[in-house]
């Protein structure tokens, strides 16, 4: 059933286009809504097993010979994320029904959204590295489609491509780390890899494994300097932004680090990289958020900063830090999801998200403003017992001060960590206060496209539920701790962590004074922000991660364009020359390095007069083909070479190969004759002496190198020939007397299937181009 739950969104995505076309008068979202809701209810049934410490593994064989099976594993951590994905997904779908008009291309939107949801479920529930990677890349593809949903906007296309390039780069790096992990441990199972952590930590490849995997996590979770894709992803419809930021894609990197913490925890390199980049991302994201004027841009940079905060806590590695990280993931989902929905409501009902034009909306939109109040001040960590964000932020401050069994390196950098935590939190407070007061307080600053008014009730339901959770979690934190957080922490730490979350820890708690510093300094900076905003001209000034990305991508495009123009001359002769020269160099170097030029005349088949005569005729025909001036004669003489090879196969007792060669040669000659009209006129073709010499050198070199390869393949035995295996097993395993057929159909069945697939795709492409060309002609 768990496999079906993961596949359910994909199966539903197949059906959505039919619902969309058949029932256009009904919003497609109503057909999608039951999918995440039912998945949430189904996954909730695993609570009992997780509380008892029972971890379920479900496996479907896929490629067992390579150890790649569709294995799903549900424990406290995977259940926690799966419930977030489906729970927030339900609210996002409900919100989208009222946000997206029925005239939109809803069939496309909900297909992409379901693919995204299914891919995220696959990521958090997979126990096999390569299955996880497959779903990981599916999240990149589906998010690309969602961000580019409004494809007619330049910003949407740019943001979609940017997210794709950065996250796929990280995904490929992560795949390299996974392959190294598999090589070192001998298993793709994440559970078994963690059990063999000693092998990984003591292997010389460990630094590369860690760095490559973290590249995948950092790019996905928008850690500095890979954060630049996230603000541009705001071109997506607001329901997508709410889903992406609160429960899905950006949380995938956090999940990966959390899942592999048992493998890497306690290592100084892991601590420095994860904690260092986490705190840097926290400070930079919160600092840059204050600079923004678009509501969604502020929230995008706030997500970057919050992700950095969570990543840093995962790097701390202590029980308190891990609990704080998981707790803040939950809290962030509630307040960030609600705030994105509020931003969408403001945009939907006023026509703008620019805080320089907004203001005074509390009068016109009191319910939306109230929802925003709870979301922003929870995000700011304001010290009131109704804001869940304050509780996890206090735990963050506490965890930044204490490290168990710290190494000398950790003890050296430890004093700086609370300072950076407070610094990032100060700017978090500033942008939170700025977001709320500049949008809902004061007076309206500009004439808006729409007269502000409260959103319809249906659009308010989802953020209202999330805001209710903010308050409920704040008032009853240990209810959620015992049932949801503790099992997730145990899955990350490998052992149960006793904890009790409470609002008040007494006046002697240093975390309280850190919060008061944030409150005081943050308020002061907000009040005098006009006096220090010019500092952004110095830092970052002209430096920009976005500009760096553009420079790198544009440089690659320009370089590839120049290189392509240099060799794409339109001359088939030039293309063949490049290919053959590369072939000559590659084979020559390989044979030299492997001592492949050795020749042995032992165990050769006897050469009689008929074979020798046919070989001479074939050589003469090959030379004659080059010298021919008539096209028909050249085609027929070339056919002699192929038919001569068929005769040689007959003499060497290979009738199957002879028949195959005979058919291929006949078809080839027939095709040449059918294309006769389009072939170049050999008599009128002119080539300079230089070209003729180059042609001669290349052709002779290819002939010589192929001859040497053929001789070397007989003379050099680097390993036992595989032919013995086929001879012994073709009949028993393949059930056929013909070894060649069994190899093609059974032993190389996958290869043959993929070759057929390539031909099928090529046929579809050709057919599509012909059809499109026909339609274009009709339109003209």
Confidence label for 780 from pLDDT (cuts 50, 70 and 90): very low
Contact indicator for 307, 221 with CB cutoff of 8 Å: yes
Rounded distance between C-alpha atoms, residue 298 and residue 372, angstroms: 14
Cα-Cα-Cα-Cα torsion 246, 247, 250, 251, nearest 10 degrees, comes to 120
Q: Which candidate, 261, 281, 282, places its Cα nearest to that of 193? A: 261
SS (H, E, C) 334-360: HHHHHHHHHHHHHHHHHCCCECCCCCC
Query: What are the pLDDT digits (tens) for 482-510?
Result: 889 999 999 998 887 778 888 877 787 88
Query: What are the pLDDT digits (tens) for 127-136?
Result: 999 999 999 9
Helix (H), strand (E) at residue 56? strand 56-63
Rounded distance between C-alpha atoms, residue 80 and residue 366, angstroms: 33
The pLDDT > 70 percentage for the chain reads: 97
Query: What are the pLDDT digits (tens) for 201-218?
Result: 989 999 999 999 999 999
What is the model's pLDDT at position 779?
46
Mean pLDDT value across the chain: 88
Tokens (6 digits) for 483: 């049932």
Rounded distance between C-alpha atoms, residue 126 and residue 493, angstroms: 19
Rounded distance between C-alpha atoms, residue 174 and residue 779, angstroms: 47
For residue 673, pLDDT beyond 90: no
Rounded distance between C-alpha atoms, residue 313 and residue 397, angstroms: 10
Contact indicator for 489, 322 with CB cutoff of 8 Å: yes
* 3-state secondary structure (DSSP) of residue 386: coil
CATH number of 571-722: 1.20.120
Rounded distance between C-alpha atoms, residue 99 and residue 102, angstroms: 9
Burial of 666: CB neighbours in 10 Å, binned 0-12, 13-18, 19+: middle
Strand pairing of 68-74 and 56-63? Answer: antiparallel
What is the model's pLDDT at position 776?
52
Asked which of 146-155, 161-170, 745-754 is least confident by mean pLDDT, the reply is 745-754
Rounded distance between C-alpha atoms, residue 718 and residue 732, angstroms: 27
What is the model's pLDDT at position 626?
79
What is the model's pLDDT at position 88?
95
Q: Which ranges of 351-449 does DSSP label H, i.e. alpha helix?
A: 361-364, 366-380, 388-399, 408-413, 416-440
Angle formed at CA 190 by CA 188 and CA 196, multiple of 5 degrees: 90
Cα-Cα-Cα-Cα torsion 173, 178, 183, 189, nearest 10 degrees, comes to 180
Where b means 16+ CB within 10 Å and e means fewer, 276-291 reads bbbbbbbbbbbbbbbe
Confidence label for 681 from pLDDT (cuts 50, 70 and 90): low
DSSP state of 196: T
For residue 325, pLDDT beyond 90: yes
* 3-state secondary structure (DSSP) of residue 507: coil
Mean pLDDT of 190-207: 91
Q: Which candidate, 456, 402, 507, places its Cα nearest to that of 99? A: 456
Give the domain ranges of the chain: 316-533, 538-568, 571-722, 723-780
Confidence label for 119 from pLDDT (cuts 50, 70 and 90): very high
Rounded distance between C-alpha atoms, residue 58 and residue 122, angstroms: 13
Answer positive or negative: Cα dihedral of 650, 652, 656, 662: negative
Confidence label for 686 from pLDDT (cuts 50, 70 and 90): low
Query: What are the pLDDT digits (tens) for 254-296?
Result: 999 999 999 988 788 999 999 999 999 999 999 999 999 999 9
More confident call, 542 vs 588: 588
Helices (H) and strands (E) in the chain, counts: 37, 2
Around Cβ 216, how many Cβ atoms within 10 Å? 27
For residue 335, pLDDT beyond 80: yes
Cα-Cα-Cα-Cα torsion 470, 476, 478, 480, nearest 10 degrees, comes to -50
Tokens (6 digits) for 247: 């429960």
What is the model's pLDDT at position 391?
93
Tokens (6 digits) for 519: 């409150």
For residue 412, pLDDT beyond 70: yes
Confidence label for 162 from pLDDT (cuts 50, 70 and 90): very high
What is the model's pLDDT at position 122?
95
For residue 33, pLDDT beyond 90: yes
Is the pTM for the entire model greater than 0.85?
Answer: no
């Amino acid at each position: 059933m768990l496999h079906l739950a993961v596949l359910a969104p994909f199966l539903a995505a197949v059906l959505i286009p039919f619902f969309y076309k058949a029932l256009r008068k009904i919003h497609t979202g109503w057909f999608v809504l039951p999918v995440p809701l039912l998945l949430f209810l189904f996954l909730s049934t695993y609570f009992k097993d997780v509380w008892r410490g029972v971890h379920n593994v479900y496996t479907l064989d896929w490629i067992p010979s390579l150890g790649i099976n569709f294995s799903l594993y549900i424990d406290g951590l995977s259940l926690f994320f799966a419930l977030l994905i489906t729970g927030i997904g339900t609210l996002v779908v409900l919100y989208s029904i009222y946000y997206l008009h029925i005239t939109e291309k809803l069939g496309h939107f909900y297909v992409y959204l379901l693919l995204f949801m299914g891919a995220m479920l696959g990521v958090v529930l997979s126990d096999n590295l390569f299955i996880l990677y497959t779903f990981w890349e599916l999240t990149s593809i589906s998010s690309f489609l969602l961000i580019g949903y409004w494809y007619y906007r330049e910003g949407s296309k740019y943001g979609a491509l940017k997210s794709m390039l950065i996250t796929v780069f990280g995904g490929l790096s992560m795949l390299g780390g996974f392959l190294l992990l598999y090589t070192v441990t001998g298993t793709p199972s994440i559970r078994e890899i963690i059990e063999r952590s000693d092998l990984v930590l003591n292997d010389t490849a460990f630094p590369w494994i860690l760095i490559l995997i973290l590249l995948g996590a950092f790019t996905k979770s928008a850690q500095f300097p890979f954060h630049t894709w996230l603000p541009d992803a705001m071109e997506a419809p607001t329901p997508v932004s709410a889903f992406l930021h609160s429960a899905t894609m950006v949380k995938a990197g956090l999940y990966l680090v959390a899942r592999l913490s048992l493998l890497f925890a306690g290592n100084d390199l892991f601590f420095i990289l994860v904690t260092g980049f986490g705190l840097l991302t926290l400070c930079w994201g919160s600092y840059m958020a204050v600079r923004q004027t678009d509501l969604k841009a502020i929230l995008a940079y706030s997500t970057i900063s919050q992700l950095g905060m969570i990543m840093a806590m995962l790097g701390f590695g202590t029980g308190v830090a891990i609990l704080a990280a998981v707790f803040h993931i939950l809290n962030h989902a509630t307040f960030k999801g609600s705030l994105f929905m509020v931003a969408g409501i403001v945009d939907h009902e006023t026509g703008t998200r620019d805080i320089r034009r907004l203001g005074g909306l509390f009068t016109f939109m009191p319910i939306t403003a109230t929802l925003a109040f709870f979301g922003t001040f929870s995000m700011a960590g304001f010290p009131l017992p109704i804001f869940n964000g304050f509780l996890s932020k206090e735990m963050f401050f506490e965890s930044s001060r204490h490290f168990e069994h710290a190494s000398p390196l950790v003890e050296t950098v430890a004093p700086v960590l609370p300072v950076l935590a407070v610094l990032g939190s100060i700017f978090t407070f500033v942008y939170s206060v700025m977001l709320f007061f500049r949008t809902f307080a004061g007076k309206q600053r500009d004439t808006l496209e729409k007269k502000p008014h409260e959103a319809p009730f249906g659009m308010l339901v989802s953020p209202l539920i999330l805001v209710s959770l903010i308050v409920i979690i704040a008032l009853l934190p240990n209810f959620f701790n015992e049932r949801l957080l503790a099992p997730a922490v145990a899955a990350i730490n490998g052992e149960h962590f006793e904890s009790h979350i409470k609002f008040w820890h007494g006046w002697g708690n240093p975390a309280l004074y850190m919060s008061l510093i944030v409150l005081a300094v943050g308020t002061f900076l907000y009040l005098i922000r006009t006096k220090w905003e010019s500092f952004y001209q110095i830092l970052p000034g002209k430096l920009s991660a976005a500009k760096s990305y553009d420079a790198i991508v544009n440089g690659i495009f320009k370089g590839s364009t120049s290189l392509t123009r240099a060799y794409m001359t339109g001359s088939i002769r030039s293309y063949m020359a490049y290919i053959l020269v590369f072939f000559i160099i590659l084979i020559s170097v390989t044979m030299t390095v492997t001592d492949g030029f050795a020749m042995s005349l032992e165990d050769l088949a006897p050469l009689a007069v008929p074979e020798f005569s046919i070989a001479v005729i074939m050589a003469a025909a090959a030379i004659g083909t080059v010298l021919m001036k008539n096209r028909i004669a050249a085609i027929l003489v070339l056919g002699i070479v192929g038919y001569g090879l068929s005769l040689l196969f007959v003499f060497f007792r290979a009738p199957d190969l002879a028949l195959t060669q005979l058919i291929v040669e006949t078809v080839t000659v027939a095709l040449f004759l059918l294309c006769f009209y389009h072939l170049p006129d050999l008599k009128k073709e002119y080539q300079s002496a230089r070209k003729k010499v180059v042609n001669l050198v290349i052709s002779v070199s290819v002939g010589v190198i192929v001859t040497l390869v053929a001789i070397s393949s007989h003379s050099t035995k680097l390993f036992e020939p595989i032919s013995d295996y086929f001879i012994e097993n073709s009949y028993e395993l393949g059930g056929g007397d013909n070894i060649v057929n069994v190899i093609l159909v059974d032993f190389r069945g996958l290869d043959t299937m993929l070759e057929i697939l390539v031909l099928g795709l090529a046929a579809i492409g050709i057919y599509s181009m012909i059809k499109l060309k026909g339609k274009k002609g009709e339109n003209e």
